[in-house]
Amino acid sequence: MGLSEGFDAPGWEYIMGFQPTQDFLFDAAENKGWFTASRYLSQEVVAGVTENWNAELNIEPWNDFRIDISMDRSFNQTSTALFKNVDAPISDPYTDFMSANYGYNPRNDFGSYTISYMALNTLFTSGNQDLIGLFNRFENNRPIISTRLNPNGADHDRDPNVYKNGFGRKQQDVLIPAFIAAYSGEDPANVNLDIFNTTPRPNWTINWNGLSRISFLQPIFRNIRLSHAYSGSMTVSSFQRNAAFDPEAGFNEEVNFDEQSNLYSEFVIPEVVIDERFNPLIGIDIQTQNDIQMNFKMSRARNLALSFTDTKLFETNSFEYTFGFGYTLSNVSIGFLNFGGSSDRDRGGRGQRGNRGRNTQGKKGGGNDVGNRLTINLNFSYRDDVTFAYEIDNSSEPVPTRGTEAIQINPSVDYDVNKNITLRLFLDYNRTIPKTSLAFPITNARGGINVRFNLN
C-alpha cells in the first residue's frame, strides 16, 4: 500500500496525496531517520502542483439557436530542492542522522500558466497611428503601476519624480500590468498587479440554423447557417523562480536590486502572450433548393507577445475572407464525352424523370438521353497579416518584421463521364505579397485536367 513494514513510513497522509511541508521533512530526517546523513545525497525533493478548471454554459433560447460559453484556467508548477545534511565534513561524509544538521539547498520553482482571456476593447484598433497610440498608452501606464507597487517609497534612482524605488521603467512587475491594462482597455489604477491571480474571461461560440424555417425563405433555401466564435487566451509558457530574489530582503538592501536599480522579481518570465481571434467573426453557409451551396467567412485575429529578453512587444494583426461556391447538375449531357454510357450515381433522382421503362445503360440505339453529374466549385480566399516590433523607450516608428498578403483562387469543374470515369478541369492560383523587403512576391498558377478511373 506504499508504506514500509509496520505501516509507519512515510505515513498515511503522504500516500493519500498530502503535500509535505518543511516541518514534515525536518521531522522525517532528524527524528525518524528517513533521510540519509551522507553528504553525497544527490536526489532532490520534487513537488508538483497542477490546477486545471473549466466552466461551460450552453444556452438554447429557441430551436436551432445555440450559444456556448466557456472559461478555463491552467496552472502547473514544479518545485525542486536538495534536502540533505549540510554539516557533514569531507573527512567523514557518513554521520548518524541524530547528529546531522539538515537544510535546504537553493529551491527552484518552474512552470506554466494560461487562462481564457478577452481584450475586445482594443482588438479592432487599426491604422498605424492608432496602433502606435495604443503602444504609447502602454508606456504611459508604467509610472502609475510603479506608484501602486511602492506607494510610499522614495523616488527611483534613475527616474526620479516619475518612478518609485525598485520599480523602474523596465522592471518586470511594472511592465506586465501596464501591458495588460493598455491592451485590454482597463484602468491602470485598478488593473490586477499579479498576473497569476488574473480572473479568466469568457469565450463563446454562436450558431443559428433557423433562418431557413422562415416561411417566405423555404421555397428558396434548404438550409441557412450563421456562425460566430471568439476565443482568447493569456499565456505564460514558462516561468522560473528568480534565484536572486530574497523575499525577506527589503527596499534598503542592495543585494535585492539589479544593476538598473530595480527590485528583483520573484519569478523570471521570458514572455507574456495575449492571443485572440474571431474565427469566424461572421460565417454564413447556404444551401438552396436547387443544389447551390455557398459559404462566406470573415475572420480576425491578434497576437501580442511581450518579450522580456529584449524588452520588445511583437504585435501580429491578421484578417481573412473566404468564399466558396458549389453547384451540382444531375442531368448534363456533353456530346463528345457521352461514351461508355451514363453514370448511375444519380439513378433514382432527377436524372430519370420521363424515362420510366427506358433502357438507360447507354447501349447504342437505346435512345438514352439521360446525362451525368456535373459539379462546379469556386473557392476564393484573401488573407492579410503583419507583425510589428515595438521597442520600449524607443521613439522611432515600428517597422514590420514579417507578414504577407495572400490571394488564392481555385475554380474547378468535375464531370462524371460514367460510373467509372470522372474528368476534372481545375485551376489553382496563389499569389503572395510580402510586407517586408527581405522577401519578394511569389505567384504560382497550376491548371489542367485530371482523369480518375474507378475500378469498383
348 is written with which cell numbers?
Answer: 433514382
Is the pLDDT at 138 greater than 80? The verdict is: yes
Q: Which among 66, 53, 60 is positioned nearest to 205, based on CA atoms?
A: 66
- Predicted pLDDT at 96: 62
Is the pLDDT at 361 greater than 50? The verdict is: no
Q: Please state, as a whole number, how many other Cβ atoms lie within 10 Å of the Cβ of residue 88.
A: 20
**Domain identity same for 133 and 248:** yes
Domain boundary among the residues 309, 343, 377 is at: 309
Residue 127: band (very low, low, confident or very high) from pLDDT cuts 50, 70, 90 = low
Is residue 21 one of the residues assigned to a domain? Answer: no
**Domain identity same for 448 and 339:** yes
**Domain identity same for 159 and 68:** yes
pLDDT by residue (tens digit) across 227-257?
Answer: 999 999 999 999 999 988 887 776 666 778 8
**Domain identity same for 347 and 302:** no
**Higher pLDDT, residue 46 or 396:** 46
pLDDT by residue (tens digit) across 314-358?
Answer: 999 999 999 999 998 888 887 776 655 555 454 444 444 444 344
Domain boundary among the residues 240, 274, 309 is at: 309
- Predicted pLDDT at 338: 66
Mean of per-residue pLDDT scores for the chain: 86
**Domain identity same for 206 and 301:** yes
**Higher pLDDT, residue 28 or 204:** 204
Over range 70-93, report the average pLDDT.
Answer: 84
**Domain identity same for 303 and 348:** no
Over range 410-423, report the average pLDDT.
Answer: 90
Q: Please state, as a whole number, how many other Cβ atoms lie within 10 Å of the Cβ of residue 278.
A: 21
**Domain identity same for 137 and 280:** yes
**Domain identity same for 304 and 326:** no
**Domain identity same for 302 and 362:** no
**Domain identity same for 275 and 337:** no
Is residue 238 one of the residues assigned to a domain? Answer: yes
Phi, psi dihedrals of residue 385, rounded to the nearest 5°: -140, 145
- Predicted pLDDT at 94: 60
Is the pLDDT at 312 greater than 70? The verdict is: yes
- Predicted pLDDT at 269: 96
What percent of the chain clears pLDDT 90, i.e. is strictly above it? 52
How far is residue 446's CA from residue 265's CA, in Å, rounded to a whole number?
56
- Predicted pLDDT at 33: 83
- Predicted pLDDT at 293: 94
Kindly report which listed range (141-150, 246-255, 434-443) carries the lowest average pLDDT score. 246-255
Q: Please state, as a whole number, how many other Cβ atoms lie within 10 Å of the Cβ of residue 301.
A: 19
What percent of the chain clears pLDDT 70, i.e. is strictly above it? 88
Is the pLDDT at 78 greater than 70? The verdict is: yes
pTM of the model: 0.83
How far is residue 415's CA from residue 372's CA, in Å, rounded to a whole number?
7
- Predicted pLDDT at 362: 39
Is the pLDDT at 147 greater than 70? The verdict is: yes
How far is residue 202's CA from residue 205's CA, in Å, rounded to a whole number?
10
Is residue 33 one of the residues assigned to a domain? Answer: no
- Predicted pLDDT at 250: 66
How far is residue 24's CA from residue 30's CA, in Å, rounded to a whole number?
10
Residue 366: band (very low, low, confident or very high) from pLDDT cuts 50, 70, 90 = very low
Residue 418: band (very low, low, confident or very high) from pLDDT cuts 50, 70, 90 = confident
Is residue 254 one of the residues assigned to a domain? Answer: yes
Over range 93-116, report the average pLDDT.
Answer: 80
Over range 427-444, report the average pLDDT.
Answer: 93
Q: Averaging pLDDT over each range in 19-23, 258-262, 443-447, which range is the top one? A: 443-447
**Domain identity same for 371 and 442:** yes
How far is residue 327's CA from residue 333's CA, in Å, rounded to a whole number?
16
Is the pLDDT at 364 greater than 90? The verdict is: no
Over range 397-421, report the average pLDDT.
Answer: 91
Q: Count of domains in the chain?
A: 2
- Predicted pLDDT at 371: 74
- Predicted pLDDT at 357: 40
Range of the domain at 63: 50-78+110-284+293-309
pLDDT by residue (tens digit) across 212-222?
Answer: 888 888 888 99
Is residue 85 one of the residues assigned to a domain? Answer: no
Q: How many angstroms separate the Cα of 279 from the Cα of each of 228, 302, 317, 322, 405?
A: 7, 11, 14, 12, 18
- Predicted pLDDT at 351: 40
pLDDT by residue (tens digit) across 150-194?
Answer: 998 888 888 888 999 889 999 999 999 999 999 999 999 999 999
Q: Which among 324, 372, 367 is positioned nearest to 350, based on CA atoms?
A: 372
Is residue 241 one of the residues assigned to a domain? Answer: yes
Is the pLDDT at 449 greater than 50? The verdict is: yes
Over range 266-287, report the average pLDDT.
Answer: 95
Is residue 2 one of the residues assigned to a domain? Answer: no
Is residue 11 one of the residues assigned to a domain? Answer: no
**Domain identity same for 256 and 145:** yes
